[in-house]
Amino acid sequence: MLDDLKYIHQKDLSDALGIAEKQWQQLEYKFELPNLSFPIENIVYAGMGGSALSAMISQSWPGYNLPFEVVRNYNLPVYVSNKTLCIITSYSGNTEETLACLEQAKAKSAHIIIIASGGKLEVLAKENDYPMALIPKVEQPRFAALYILKAVTTILEKAGLVVVKDAEQNLHQTGQFLHESIKSWLPTVPTDNNQAKQIAQELMGKSIVVYGGPLLFPAAYKWKISFNENAKQIAWCNQLPEFSHNEMLGWTEQPVQKPYAVIDLRSNLENERIQKRFEVTERLLSGKRPAPIVVQTKGNSLLEQILWSVALGDFVSLYLALLNGLDPTPVDLIEKFKNSLAE
């Protein structure tokens, strides 16, 4: 089925696979933003779902030399003040939780920067003269993750708040690496030689759990997002070492028949104790849970490994959607839910 290009074109009506193929180009996009010259003691990033993902990636890479917190709800931390930089992010510009955070940031006289593709946030940015990174339009917010990563990195590199030097150049180089890597996952590559198609076939009809270490957890989170939104197939994620302190026991007893698939995203750049935890976990849980699908990430740098993992997960989830007989792009129930909240 996954090698039938006619079938793929019939189902993938919005060309989600084409978007995934070109996502590396988002890292080349240039955002025109002012330098930040005011005193900053901490950074708070407000966003939901895919909009929060890019901030989570940025905590692994490039990292920050000030406290950085990602808020995924309606309320900012109590410590937000006039020395806080608040990055308010919503792809649509209309996410109600994020808009609530913007009002609180304004009330606390925080320094505000907007990342959005339009909507109410764009209007408010213009009315209040907030600096704004305007995201180019894509089919769905989850397809804009690398645009948002480039935007937040640009903002904070200009402010001199990132740990990594030459972050923008690193993004460019990683884009070239992704461009080459993605070629092996394209629809024209047969299943026998296509890692993304092979993994998708192993996941059919199963509830999916994705694990990563601290560095790769943002990628595991993106796999979870993509399975739920693209394939419409339930998925969760968690990270080591926390897993070892509680969740691993959950695999040992009920239910006896476990209709799950387990994916381990592993990196040779994780702390060596994290790497050992993956190995010991696999051995101790052998026969008690499904054998994990081990994805050993590729890339010479942390950024390459994170974004390689994110891109692979996108292709796996899109192929899984096609195996489920679905168009990956629409999220009708989420739109219905938002409309119902607004009534």
Please provide the DSSP assignment of 26-90 as one string. GGG-----PPP-S--SEEEEE--THHHHHHHHHHHTT-BSS-EEEE-SS---TT--TTEEEEEEE
Following DSSP, what letter does each residue of 108-172 receive, concatenated? Answer: TT-EEEEEESSHHHHHHHHHHT--EEEPPP-SSGGGGHHHHHHHHHHHHHHTT-BSSSSHHHHHH
What pLDDT score does 165 carry? 87
Instruction: Name the class of domain 16-175.
Output: alpha beta
Q: Work out the end-to-end distance of the chain between its first and last CA atoms, rounded to an integer number of angstroms.
A: 42
Distance from C-alpha of 95 to C-alpha of 207, rounded to nearest angstrom: 28
pLDDT tens digit string along 188-209? 999 999 999 999 999 999 999 9
Kindly name the residue from 83, 108, 172, 338 that is annotated as catalytic.
338
Q: Please indicate whether residue 245 is annotated as part of the active site.
A: yes
What pLDDT score does 280 carry? 97
Q: Provide the residue-wise pLDDT of the chain in tens; the chain has 343 residues.
A: 999 999 999 999 999 999 999 999 999 999 988 877 788 999 999 999 889 999 999 999 999 999 999 999 999 999 999 999 999 999 999 999 999 999 999 999 999 999 999 999 999 999 999 999 999 999 888 899 999 999 999 999 888 889 998 998 999 999 999 999 999 999 999 999 999 999 999 999 999 999 999 999 999 999 999 999 999 999 999 999 999 999 999 999 988 888 999 999 999 999 999 999 999 999 999 999 999 999 999 999 999 999 999 999 999 999 999 999 999 998 888 888 888 887 7
Architecture of domain 5-13+188-323: 3-Layer(aba) Sandwich (3.40)
pLDDT tens digit string along 11-29? 999 999 999 999 999 999 9
Domain ranges of the chain: 5-13+188-323, 16-175
What pLDDT score does 314 carry? 97
Count the neighbouring beta carbons within 10 Å of the beta carbon of residue 83.
14
Omega within 30 of 0 (cis) for the link into 328:
no
H/E stretch holding 6 = helix 5-11
Q: Please indicate whether residue 111 is annotated as part of the active site.
A: no
What pLDDT score does 151 carry? 95
What pLDDT score does 180 carry? 97
Kindly name the residue from 21, 157, 229, 270 that is annotated as catalytic.
229
Kindly name the residue from 245, 253, 272, 343 that is annotated as catalytic.
245
Q: Please indicate whether residue 229 is annotated as part of the active site.
A: yes
Give yes or no on whether 5-13+188-323 and 16-175 have one common fold.
yes
pTM: 0.95
